[in-house]
Amino acid sequence: MTILAYDLGASSGRALLGRLNNGKIEVEELHRFPNDPVQVGDRLHWDILRLLHELKQGLLKVKHRGITLDSIAIDSWAVDFGLIGSSGELLGNPYHYRDHHTDGVMEQVVEELTKARIFEKTGIQFLPFNTIYQLAALKKADSPILRDAKHFLMIPDLLRYFLTGEMFNELSNATTTQLYNSVTGSWDEELIRAIGISPEMFGKVVQPGARAGSLRPSVCEELGIEPVPVYAAAEHDTGSAVAAVPALNPSFAYLSCGTWSLMGTEVHEPVINELAQQLNFTNEGGAYGTFRLLKNIMGLWILQECRRSWERAGVSYSFPELVKLADEAKPFAAFIDPDDPLFLRPGDMPARVAEYCLRTGQSAPEGAGAIVRCILESLALKYRYVFELTEQLSGQSFNGLHMVGGGIQNTLLCKWTANAIGKPVWAGPVEGSAIGNMVVQWIASGEIADIWEARKVIRESFPVDAYEPEQRAEWEHAYGAFKEKTGIAKKANTNIS
């Protein structure tokens, strides 16, 4: 059985073929393409029609190879969306979550509705770009697009609609909007109305693995292909990545590592209490009746943006070169909190790292190696902080950490994460989101029995690299310095008191 998984990240997208062969998964990258945002005036957009074009290119490559597909599914980043008018057409290019139109909006909405009220309904982490604040920003701006909108579709829902003509909202992405009530299992009409939006825009929510149509006749005619079933995967890429964690038992901690780092555990009921709200954890819907109790961490975005800044200045580094320079730099010279708002927007990230260090009474790192070392060490130490909070909130004690996603190709980060948490790190698979997308398709078709059989198949199909903790005394001392310099423990205690 051959299937196609589209895995769209914040910087690139892939079309990957998946095959089950003698109980092993085989993955082949068929098509890769950039996913660059587009600045138009003061606004930052996703180039959504370019993404549709690239999805079609993936289908053409399948056709040219003479491959017969059994199904297709899409996963992508969360929170962003498109609005469909009464004619069935898209009303404007979707905004990028890093656009400035949401500046200050979260604070206004929270003041009116209160954090407690929002969190007790949704269980979702407060982030300034959450869908609720994007929609509130459009309402505040009296957006004509919003006035004319009849249907709300998140990015994978939207692309799936373009391919099939069918409109569905998928659960794992719907929960990230901070408008879905995880207690009642439905859109929260009270919250939606409170920001001035019509609940009628929000459609039927389907579970990961639901059949969501077939390729529409116009697509088949354009490309010269036959109709193919289209499924809803766990369409938030983190939901798919967690489905691909090759854990051996139900109590496990994971880190989906890429542009964003998402750390947490899988639970069967959302953890919605005062401590979870104060620690700003989130409860996102997962595959097969699960929730992802996790925290967003800024992740390798900071490093990626540094690299872009150096390229704009005429100095090009490959990621392996940057990792080598970091390994040669002085250890524990300076620390940042990766989640400081200073690092959210695009811009001169090396200067921002220096600004943060100077603001917190540290010497600014000089040179690419020192800056990258500061970023990677700080990420590893922030992982420890969130790892311990995840244990506290879930009432579990984890014997190690599963890391999945493209970020695990940075072996230095994997090694330093093991050192920081003082427990083993198991890294793999790299294509976590795409593989999770695939296994949801195979479970839906009956090729794999359930998620635990899928995880067993994944573990037997892909290498998992183990990293044992080293230099415990040095990293323990560094953790204390990291908390002192960044003040993260003090911030948490202030929120809790």
Q: Is 148 designated active site?
A: no
The model's pLDDT over 294-343, given as tens digits with 9 standing for 90+, comes to 999 999 999 999 999 999 999 999 999 999 999 999 999 999 999 999 99
Q: Are 285 and 291 contacting, i.e. CB atoms less than 8 angstroms apart?
A: yes
Q: How many CA atoms lie within 13 A of 17 on its CB side?
A: 21
Rounded Cα distance between 89 and 79, Å, is 20
Per-residue pLDDT, averaged over 80-84, amounts to 98
The model's pLDDT over 453-473, given as tens digits with 9 standing for 90+, comes to 999 999 999 999 999 999 999
**What is the structure's pLDDT at 492?**
59
Rounded Cα distance between 162 and 52, Å, is 8
Instruction: Note the pTM of the prediction, 2 decimals.
Output: 0.95
Residue 12's alpha-carbon distances to 9, 48, 50, 320, 361, in angstroms, are 5, 13, 12, 19, 37
- The DSSP-derived string for 74-115 is EEB-SS-EEEE-TTS-B-SPPBPTTSGGGTTHHHHHHHHH-H
Query: Does the pLDDT value for residue 489 go beyond 80?
Result: no
Backbone angles phi, psi at 264, to 5 degrees: 175, -155
Q: Are 403 and 414 contacting, i.e. CB atoms less than 8 angstroms apart?
A: yes
Rounded Cα distance between 462 and 25, Å, is 8
Rounded Cα distance between 233 and 355, Å, is 41
Please identify which of the residues 75, 237, 337, 339 carries the catalytic annotation: 237
Rounded Cα distance between 146 and 134, Å, is 11
The model's pLDDT over 223-233, given as tens digits with 9 standing for 90+, comes to 999 999 999 99
> Which residue type does 319 have?
F
**What is the structure's pLDDT at 490?**
73
The model's pLDDT over 14-29, given as tens digits with 9 standing for 90+, comes to 999 999 999 999 999 9
Nearest Cα to Cα of residue 447 among 98, 282, 209: 209
CA angle 130, 259, 365 (to 5 degrees): 110
Domains, the chain: 2-237 (3.30.420.40), 247-428+464-497 (3.30.420.40)
* Tokens representing residue 328 in the block: 């040669």
Contacts of 168 (CB under 8 A, 6+ apart): 157, 160, 203, 204, 205, 206, 210, 212, 232
Confidence grade of residue 496 (pLDDT, cut at 50, 70, 90): very low
> Which residue type does 407 have?
G
Query: Does the pLDDT value for residue 32 go beyond 90?
Result: yes
CB-count exposure of residue 455 (10 Å: 0-12, 13-18, 19+) = buried
* Tokens representing residue 225 in the block: 């292909």
Confidence grade of residue 221 (pLDDT, cut at 50, 70, 90): very high
